[in-house]
Amino acid sequence: MKRILIVYHSQEKGNTKRMAELVAQGCRKQPGIDVELVNVNEKRVDMDAAEKADAYALGSPDYFTLMAGGLKQFFDDIMLASWHKKQTLGKPYVAFLTHGGGGGAIKSIDKLADACKLVRVADNVVCKGAPEKPADVKCAIALGEALAAHVAR
Ligand SMILES: Cc1cc2nc3c(=O)[nH]c(=O)nc-3n(C[C@H](O)[C@H](O)[C@H](O)COP(=O)(O)O)c2cc1C
């Protein structure tokens, strides 16, 4: 069984949570994939769970053109864990963002993912507000499908 860990910060309206759930829906289309979701605004990711994951889907709202704090904490934690040989670098990831009209924060996710030597396997998905329009829903589900297909190879 392959594992995908969906790490997202959602706080204000649940917009990013909704997107995380759609990404999970896409991941689950692929048989043999175990999907875990963690809202890092509520709890930190256990580093053993992070290490057991074969891939990550990383999501955040845009806060001041930066990722929100919970996701930043995840990056800090995996980097530190890698220095202590408790975290494998080079895992595949995808990223998603919700915003209020900006969206520039997606760059901060790519920057830290690159610093942590994660490998992006599909284009980022960025959505204004909640993913309610059919096109946004489709993109979020497709993101999960793409990650799961990569993991299943
Ligand atoms: C403290 C704070 C700062 C924000 N800064 C921005 C911003 O710089 N650009 C933007 O487009 N949206 C900004 N927003 C709006 C959120 O990114 C947007 O509402 C997001 O979808 C909220 O996701 P959530 O409901 O999952 O928490 C900000 C919201 C908050 C609470």
- What is the per-residue pLDDT across 65-107, written as a single tens digit (0 to 9) for each? 999 999 999 999 999 999 999 988 899 999 999 999 999 999 9
- Evaluate: CB of 104 within 6 angstroms of ligand 1: no
Greatest C-alpha distance within the chain: 44
pLDDT < 50 regions, the chain: none
- Count of alpha carbons within 13 Å of 132, Cβ hemisphere only? 5
Q: Which atom of ligand 1 lies nearest, measured to the CA of 10?
A: 26
Atom of ligand 1 nearest to the CA of 16: 26
Ligand 1 lined by 65 (C-beta under 6 Å): yes
CA of 61 to the centre of ligand 1 (A): 5
The predicted structure's pLDDT at residue 113: 98
In this structure, the residue with its CA closest to atom 2 of ligand 1 is: 63
Q: How far is the CA of 5 from the centre of ligand 1 (A)?
A: 23
Instruction: Give the pLDDT score at 87.
Output: 87
pLDDT score recorded for residue 3 = 98
CATH number of 2-152: 3.40.50.360
* Residues across the chain: 153
Question: Which parts of the chain are beta strand (E)?
Answer: 2-8, 33-39, 55-63, 66-67, 92-99, 119-120, 125-128
Q: Is 111 in the pocket of ligand 1 (CB under 6 A)?
A: no
pLDDT at 84: 94
User: DSSP secondary-structure letter at 14?
Assistant: S
